Amino acid sequence: MKKLLFFLLLSITSLAQNIKGTYEFQFRENRTPTGWDKVNVNGLVIFYEDTKTNTVTIVTPTRKELLYVQSRQPFVSKDSLLYTLIDENKKECSFRIVLINQNSLELYYYSDRVDEKYYRLKLIKKV
């Protein structure tokens, strides 16, 4: 049992350490009843963490959204994390981050906001 717990903690830490820095996306995909609707908007997602602050910033040509990480935990598969976040107006949202490879992630965004209930970003690590 101790070995299993150690392995889980190690894999969470390892995955979380891989998700730092700046990532780019070329488009956003909004979830619809019939599938995914591609929206031509590009931007950046910046994962920042130090001893006092843990944030994720989503930047597009028309908007900058700063989100504070409340929690981060494993989600179903070994290569997924669930983030719970809060913005400056105290509105909550969550991300499911799927590690595709060392330089590529998928970010699934969930919230109660009218125009942004559920969307997906395909992120590529910016060099």
Expressed as residue numbers, the domain containing 111 is 2-125
Cβ atoms of 72 and 83 within 8 Å: the answer is: yes
Q: What is the pLDDT of residues 17-69, one digit of tens each?
A: 468 999 999 999 999 999 999 999 999 999 999 999 999 999 999 999 999 99
Structure tokens at 116: 């942004």
Q: What is the CATH number of the domain that holds 93?
A: 2.40.128.120
How high is the pLDDT of residue 40? 95
Distance CA 118, CA 58 (A): 15
Beta strands in the chain (DSSP E): 21-25, 28-32, 35-39, 43-49, 54-60, 63-75, 77-87, 92-101, 104-111, 118-125
Flag whether the pTM goes above 0.85.
Answer: no
The count of domains in the chain is 1
Q: Which residues contact 89 (CB under 8 A, 6 or more apart)?
A: none
Mapped onto helix, strand or coil, the DSSP state of residue 1 is coil
